[in-house]
Amino acid sequence: MSSGASPTEPDDEFVSLATSLDGVVKSLRGPSRRAVGGLFGRWDEAVGEQVAQHVRPVKLDEGVLSVEVDDPAWATQVKFLAPTIIARLAEVADAKVERIQVRVDPRSARGARL
């Protein structure tokens, strides 16, 4: 009836959620859970309030950070700021980003033309 482990003792059959997520991310050849969490969780701190209001991280894949901007002018600004953003993400979030890919959110761009 009992597996031998008490309710307060961990059972060897169970794996922590963090360990499971690390395994899944590794199998998908993605960045570590810590890098993704740090990058997305500390985005505002890394890039500053003004940039964070207009630019949001979407995906980190093999060193390429995809971001979405709310206006085409911000796409240009992000390309100009890319080296600084990459350095700040490494410093603040311990994230390894080699390049930033920018796209304009079509919903925001459409709204700006109305």
Q: Which is the CATH superfamily of the domain at 31-113?
A: DnaA, N-terminal domain (3.30.300.180)
pLDDT of residue 13: 72
pLDDT of residue 107: 82
**CB contact at 8 A, 93 and 41:** yes
pLDDT of residue 100: 98
CA distance 106 to 81: 22
The backbone torsions φ and ψ at residue 47, rounded to the nearest 5 degrees and listed phi first, read -100, -15
Q: On the CB side of 34, how many CA atoms lie within 13 Å of its CA?
A: 5
pLDDT of residue 8: 54
Q: Please state the domain extents for the chain.
A: 31-113
- The parts of the chain modelled with pLDDT lower than 50 are 28, 33, 111-114
At which residue do the structure tokens 């003792």 appear? 9
pLDDT of residue 114: 41
pLDDT of residue 113: 46
pLDDT of residue 37: 59
